[in-house]
Amino acid sequence: MVFQKPPDGGWGWVIVVVSFFTQFLCYGSPLAVGVLYLEWLDAFGEGKGKTAWVGSLANGIGLLASPVCSICVSSFGARPVAIFSGFMVAGGLMMSSFAPNIYFLYLSYGIVVGLGCGLLYTATVTITCHYFDKRRGLALGLISTGSSVGLFIYAALQRELIDLYGLDGCLLIVGALSLNILACGSLMRPLESSDSPSPEKTCVDKVPDQYFVYHEKEKTVEENISILEKGYTDEKCVNNVPDYKQDSILNKNVLTSINVNEKDTYKKKVVEQTNFCKQLAKRKWQLYLNYWEETVVLFKNKVFSALFVAILLFDIGGFPPSLLMEDVARSANISEDDYYVPLISIIGIMTAVGKLTLGILADFKWINTLYLYVSTLIMTGVALFAIPFAKSYLTLAMLSGILGFLTGNWSIFPYVTTKTVGIEKLTHAYGILMFFAGLGNSLGPPVVGWFYDWTQEYGTAFYFSGFCVLLGGFLLLLAALPCWNACTNQSSKLPPNTYSYKVASSA
């Protein structure tokens, strides 16, 4: 399969639109799960930490399974995966409406919906990257806002549906809306070309093609036999001179030739198949060793190690507000009449604004993306410390907007990763970091909920969250200080295409 050159337009803009709506439809409910969280607390009567596992699994399992999601998209293509995942998300949401207990929700909403969202995220990003090269940043930025807009709309939509049809009816309707992902997935036409010549392959990759060549040779022999037989038949009809003896000799020679060809072909296939299996096993083992060697090299980079700790601590402390902010308002005895806009909706729309704004700032040459990212971490930690002091809807709304904007630092995280490890190591490094980000997403809300269960107030919980985020930010800042470049020359020890982050250079 040979891919065309990315058109940077044309059908690519259709891909952007359907990818935007795909993320809108699949992530709308999981990101706005804070509205459902309140209903599940009342319906099942479980602790806050135990109930928070549902939303944290839905948002974290996709990141934890990102290597599996990438393999599925690479093996089957973006369109089949998107259609299959649409059934998963819709089915998981509808199953959740019949949940008899919280443990059923762990499976139906947490794992099924979460894994479907992870597959859809990988599919949309992959197909968009195939269609765009020069405008790839713009295209990815546009589709990434789909999840934020989905959070903004679904927070109000789910609350309204719960008031009208109850929790079960809300989940059924939201699940039915998710079936529109199937229509979006069907428009994700793969970018392929059968006309252009395929690139030269390695010896291992050529083996299946050789089998195909042998098969074609066998078919060619059979076609030649048919042509010869037809030619002799026509000749006999024209001359009206039958020659059975000559036909018998010809057929005998042809059959003998076929038998020899079949034996030679079979022997060649056995030899080639044996060599193919040996080379494939050797190649896979070598790739496995190379993977772990590159992983060790990555963690020798002090900035990457600090980045790994920072993203883990940031998701443990920074993700809970999007799930628990509605319950924080209820715990502060804020009347529902004072609600103008759901707090989760404010977080969602400000996250979209933050993604676009921080992404634009990262493109300025005079702004260092690592320092920009560190500053968002430190400000997030300060905002989390302020949540226990907020006793009115207005102050909680302001803090929600600030936290939402700062959460938009996800848009510059790939920039920071690229500057830290180099473009050649980006895929490997980003996969590792996303795994730990998913781990932080899964652990953060339950930990904060457990703190509330122990203390019966959110103050200690958010102090812990703020401390985690601040600790990650200061560790990353310390690792990136220019004095380290004077003490060690780490970049000379790293292999080509991998370099340490120099904070003096502009991003």
Q: Which residue has the tokens 């919980």?
A: 461
CB 259: neighbour CB atoms within 10 A? 10
193 by DSSP, 3-state: which?
strand
- Compute the distance between CA of residue 501 and CA of residue 507 in angstroms, rounded to an integer: 10
CB 270: neighbour CB atoms within 10 A? 10
Strand partners, 193: 2
Q: Which of 79, 101, 71 is nearest to 22 (CA)?
A: 79
Q: What is the pLDDT of residue 211?
A: 41
Give every CB contact of residue 326 below 8 A, 6+ residues apart in sequence: 34, 35, 37, 38, 342, 343, 344
- Compute the distance between CA of residue 99 and CA of residue 170 in angstroms, rounded to an integer: 13
Whether pTM > 0.75 for this model: the answer is: no
- Compute the distance between CA of residue 187 and CA of residue 78 in angstroms, rounded to an integer: 10
Contact 63, 438 (CB under 8 A): yes
Distances in whole angstroms, Cα of residue 314 to Cα of each of 48, 50, 381, 424, 430:
21, 21, 9, 26, 16
Q: What is the pLDDT of residue 98?
A: 93
Q: What is the pLDDT of residue 252?
A: 52
Looking at the chain, the number of H-run helices and the number of E-run strands are 20, 0
**Domains, the chain, with CATH or none:** 1-193 (1.20.1250.20), 273-484 (1.20.1250.20)
Strand partners, 2: 193
Q: What is the pLDDT along the chain (507 residues), one digit of tens a residue?
A: 445 676 777 888 899 899 999 999 999 889 888 889 889 988 888 888 888 889 888 888 888 887 778 778 878 888 999 999 999 999 999 999 999 999 999 999 999 999 999 899 888 888 887 787 777 767 777 887 888 888 889 988 998 999 999 999 999 999 999 999 999 999 998 876 544 444 444 444 444 444 444 444 444 444 444 544 444 444 444 444 445 445 555 555 555 555 556 666 666 666 667 776 767 676 766 666 676 777 777 778 888 888 888 988 998 888 888 778 888 888 877 776 666 777 888 888 888 888 888 877 877 778 888 888 999 999 999 999 999 888 888 899 899 999 989 988 877 777 787 777 776 676 677 777 878 888 888 888 888 888 888 888 888 888 998 999 999 999 988 888 775 554 444 444 444 443 334 333 333
- Compute the distance between CA of residue 395 and CA of residue 380 in angstroms, rounded to an integer: 15
Residue 427 CB-half CA count within 13 A: 6
Residue 267 CB-half CA count within 13 A: 6
Q: What is the pLDDT of residue 427?
A: 62
Q: What token pair was written down for 106?
A: 């762990």
Four-residue CA torsion sign, 79, 82, 88, 91 = negative
Q: What token pair was written down for 100?
A: 């008899």
